Amino acid sequence: MSGQGSGTPDRGFQDRINRVQERRAPIEASRPQVDLLPDWKENIRYPASLIGAAFLGMFAVFFARFARFHLMGGTLSGEAPDLTMIIDAGLAVLAALVIFGAIGMTLRESDRAERHGFFSIASLGGNPVKLAIVVGVAIMIGTMHNMVHSAPKAFSVVFSPEWAADVVEFSEPGSIYYRGNYFVVFPQTEAVAEDVDPTGDGAEEKVLPKVRRL
């Protein structure tokens, strides 16, 4: 052992440190690596899946109304607005859940146990993805007619000129649709909407929308 203050390292002490390090080496190697800065892809995946689910719900409403019109005819609100709205919403939610379950958006292998209850409405509150789908369906149910006001010619091609003209004539731009009524959120007293000519001869008639304020 070296004398005090000689500056010579204690060989026995250094050996003990080396033995401790050798015993701890396997333990340290077996510990999982923890990233101090999480991967941005992992962080954005969850909110992106919720946004995607909401847009999927909106698309499902468009698809449900498209299918209903081409199979049964009628207008956007139908002869019984309450029943028509329930049918559109139910078909849209079902279609969105089927599509979501088929493509498995952001569902990992570890989430397979949750897939068995994915189609259950009872677990809606505990499943943010299903809740986002329902929110998207509700948004599209209440606002799709505003898209028709913005692009009546496009909807006259996808649906029919008569269908688009009916929406433009009997709905209100800048409003929310609920049970056959249109509640104006953004009044457009000076605005005019393009009516779609059912004959398709290119003539356009200007219609002043009726504004109902809340």
Tokens read off for 191 = 């605005």
Which among 145, 143, 140, 181 is positioned nearest to 163, based on CA atoms?
A: 145
For 165, phi and psi rounded to 5 degrees? -65, -35
Among 39-53, 119-133, 169-183, 188-202, name the most confident range. Answer: 169-183
Residue 4 clears pLDDT 70, i.e. is over it: no
**127 CB burial (10 A radius; 0-12, 13-18, 19+):** middle
Lowest mean pLDDT among 74-88, 124-138, 185-199: 185-199
**184 φ, ψ to 5°?**
-70, 125
Most confident of 86-90, 185-189, 192-196: 86-90
Model pLDDT for residues 63-75, shown as the tens digit of each residue: 999 999 999 988 9
Distance CA 173, CA 101 (A): 35
Q: Within 10 Å of residue 161's Cβ, how many Cβ atoms?
A: 18
User: At 198, is the secondary structure helix, strand, or coil?
Assistant: coil
106-132 pLDDT, tens per residue?
A: 444 334 444 444 445 455 556 888 899
